[in-house]
Amino acid sequence: MIDAENLTKKFDNLTAVDNLTLHVKEGEVFGLLGPNGAGKTTTIRMLCCLISKTGGEARIDDYEIGNVADQQKIRSIIGLLPENVGLYDALSAYKNLDFYGRMYKVKEEQRKERIEHFLKMLGLWERRDASVGTFSKGMKQKLAIARTLIHDPKVLFLDEPTANLDPEASRTVRDFILDLKKEKRTIFLNTHNLDEAERICDRVGILKTRLVAVDKPEKLRESLWGIKTEIQLDAVNDAIVAAVKRLGPWKIEIAGNKLIIGVSEPEKENPDIVDAIGKAGGRIHFVTQVSPTLEDVYLKLVRS
Amino acid sequence: MDLEIAWTVATKDLSIIRKKKSIFYAVIILPLIMSIGLPAIVWVVEQRGTIPDAILIGLLNAFSFFFVIMASLSSIGISSYSIVGEKVEKSLEPLLATPATDGEILFGKGLAAFIPTIVATYVSVTIFMILTDILTYAQLGYSYYPNLTIALVLFLVTPLAIILSNELNVLVSARVNDVRTASQLGAIMGIPFFVIYILAEIGLISLDIATFLAISAILLAADIALFYLSRTTFRREQILTRWK
């Protein structure tokens, strides 16, 4: 659905996005992570035909980004939620959605149905005639997401959808995105929130002007960090460490009374490790699987 | 150009402007004051004794020109809000993400500034003409309005002046971040018209049909030149990456 090959954007001497290659399948939720200034918003703007690309190629559906004849078609099949929601505070929630429905040429009957559907779904129907200026940030964000859906787009671009929201509002927005995911919409999400990316996204890419890594969140964690088994003991001694070392060429860390062992197949290896420690006189309190968070992976990649 | 899309943009802007009382009243109050105030001046002049017909006609033509100045200044308030207001509310990006072309959005915004200004101008000029005719009929022996001069002012000079004002405002809007500054800078638009008025007052030009035709020609040329300049300024990439 979204294909980019060596997509590049330069502003004078500054390269904002450098040779970005990525492919997002239909119905996939793809998260783009990266620090401020990494080029996430620029990427979305290029893919939404808001700014031109300097190099490379990109397509959405069957339309080519950069081809003047395709620009309007691309904009008609995508929905964009920018970082700043940009609603009209002086207009009511209903009129905001109605305006965008008209801009996308949604027929009146359909427009009314969709506005009612989304406003009811988001719990805003009772406030439909109230000025958006009186809404909380969370309500505005929900309304802005409804705006991006008013023309039933094939692809959604969400730029930091939960930024600056309180935890409750973030959760409401996140749940709404998860509902959209169930509808098998293609969603391209920019976020700083790694927990959000992990919960929502099928795959994530880490962007630092260039795409540093891209995979499923769990695969990224495994490939960059490995799997670790943590064993809490009464006490760690040389005999225990030697017993574990004899089982395989694993990396072993000792942290107080804990042994942290880098394993490859925990289901097979953990019982042997537990057995060996027991035979070496160790008393085990707990055995736990240690998984790095996506944040750990992100920080490792971004800092490197 | 899809006129339906442009009209959608215009009606949305008009809905917002109606809610912004300060802008809405600015468009109504100034024309209302002029529609009553200028005939009041005619009345005061006539009360002080009979003035020659030629001077009275010169005065009335000068008053006609005031409506051009008024219209060009009135539209600035709306057009400033229409573009800078979107910048302040950060609502331009979702608008630019729609399939609408830059030209359709710009044209819609132009219409939103043009329509209320021209309607307010026509209503106020109508009131002005009726009151002035009542006051001057006794002296002139005929109804001075409507006439070709005011027709030129209303249907040629004023629309061209409003268009110029809107185009100038697009250029100003690209550089400023608040509506008040945009309005103040846009008021520069009034200067050439004030100069024309002063030149008429000191007798270097007369505000007759020939002068109004010449002004129209200059305005038309300026409109065309600024149209291309404003189209260059009002481009998606420019707005998102260069506008302050």
Choose the most confident range, by mean pLDDT, from A101-110, A226-235, A279-288.
A101-110
Rounded CA-CA distance A159/B141 in Å is 71
Contact B98 A103 (CB under 8 A): yes
Chain B interface includes A108 (CB < 8 A): no
Tell me, yes or no, whether A168 and A257 share the same domain: no
Residues 80-99 (A) with a CB less than 8 A from some CB of B = 80-82, 84-91, 95, 99
Tell me, yes or no, whether A74 and A14 share the same domain: yes
Nearest to A75 among B91, B99, B241 (CB): B99
- Burial classification of residue A285, based on how many CB atoms lie within 10 Å of its CB (0-12 exposed, 13-18 middle, 19 or more buried): exposed
Tell me if B31 sits within 8 A of B120, measured CB to CB: yes
Tell me, yes or no, whether A134 and A236 share the same domain: no
What letter represents residue A256's amino acid? G
The answer on pLDDT for B48 being more than 70 is: yes
Nearest to A147 among B94, B96, B99 (CB): B94
Contact B99 A76 (CB under 8 A): yes
Choose the most confident range, by mean pLDDT, from A228-232, A247-251, B156-160.
B156-160
Contacts B90 to A, Cβ<8 Å: 82, 84-86
Tell me, yes or no, whether A183 and A95 share the same domain: yes
User: What's the confidence (pLDDT) of residue A250?
Assistant: 79
User: What's the confidence (pLDDT) of residue B15?
Assistant: 92
Nearest to B97 among A48, A91, A99 (CB): A48
Contacts A86 to B, Cβ<8 Å: 89-95
Higher-confidence position of B197 and A81: A81
- To test the contact with chain B by mutation, choose from A88, A96, A105 the residue with the greatest count of B C-beta atoms within 10 A, namely A88
Q: Which residues contact B166 (CB under 8 A, 6 or more apart)?
A: B75, B79, B109, B110, B113, B114
Rounded CA-CA distance B224/B230 in Å is 10
Chain B interface includes A53 (CB < 8 A): no
Chain B interface includes A164 (CB < 8 A): no
DSSP output for B85-154: HHHHHT-HHHHHTSS--HHHHHHHHHHHHHHHHHHHHHHHHHHHHHHHHHHHHHHHSS---S-HHHHHII
Chain B interface includes A284 (CB < 8 A): no
Tell me, yes or no, whether A168 and A252 share the same domain: no
Tell me if A216 sits within 8 A of A202, measured CB to CB: yes
Tell me, yes or no, whether A199 and A143 share the same domain: yes
Nearest to A87 among B91, B96, B240 (CB): B91
Tell me, yes or no, whether A61 and A204 share the same domain: yes
- Percent of chain A surpassing pLDDT 70: 97
Closest CA to B35 of B114, B146, B116, B123: B123
Q: What is the CATH number of the domain that holds A129?
A: 3.40.50.300
pLDDT tens digits, B121-158: 999 999 999 999 999 888 888 999 899 989 999 999 99
Rounded CA-CA distance A160/A75 in Å is 20
Residue of A nearest to B19 (CA): A90
Q: What is the CATH number of the domain that holds A234?
A: 3.30.70.100
R_g of chain A, CA atoms, integer Å: 24
Tell me if B82 sits within 8 A of B170, measured CB to CB: no
Chain A interface includes B175 (CB < 8 A): no
Contacts B241 to A, Cβ<8 Å: 11, 51
Residue of A nearest to B88 (CA): A86
pLDDT tens digits, B97-125: 999 988 898 889 889 989 999 999 999 99
For chains A and B, what is the number of CB pairs under 8 angstroms?
A: 82
Domain boundary at A215, A237, A260, which?
A: A215
Residue of A nearest to B241 (CA): A51
Q: How far is CA A283 from CA A248, A252, A280, in A?
A: 21, 18, 9
What is the helix (H) or strand (E) element at residue B171, kind and residue range? helix B158-173
Mean pLDDT over B212-219 rounds to 92
Rounded CA-CA distance B174/B244 in Å is 7
Contact B89 A86 (CB under 8 A): yes
Tell me, yes or no, whether A190 and A84 share the same domain: yes
The answer on pLDDT for A225 being more than 70 is: no
User: What's the confidence (pLDDT) of residue A292?
Assistant: 67
CA dihedral (B187, B193, B194, B195) positive or negative = positive
Tell me, yes or no, whether A196 and A295 share the same domain: no
Tell me, yes or no, whether A110 and A203 share the same domain: yes
Tell me, yes or no, whether A189 and A256 share the same domain: no
pLDDT bucket at A34, cuts 50 / 70 / 90: confident
CA dihedral (B132, B134, B138, B143) positive or negative = positive
Chain A interface includes B78 (CB < 8 A): no
Domain boundary at A169, A192, A215, which?
A: A215
Secondary-structure percent of chain A, ordered helix, strand, coil, rounded to 5: 40, 30, 30
pLDDT tens digits, A138-164: 889 889 999 999 999 999 999 988 887
- The parent domain of residue A164 ranges over 2-215
Total residues found in chain A within this entry: 304
Q: What is the 8-class DSSP label of residue A301? A: H
Chain A interface includes B20 (CB < 8 A): yes
Q: Structurally, how many domains does chain A consist of? A: 2
The answer on pLDDT for B63 being more than 80 is: yes
User: What's the confidence (pLDDT) of residue A179?
Assistant: 85
Domain boundary at A164, A188, A215, which?
A: A215
Residues 87-106 (B) with a CB less than 8 A from some CB of A = 89-101
Contact B240 A51 (CB under 8 A): yes
- To test the contact with chain A by mutation, choose from B93, B237, B242 the residue with the greatest count of A C-beta atoms within 10 A, namely B93
Residue of A nearest to B238 (CA): A51
Tell me, yes or no, whether A53 and A186 share the same domain: yes
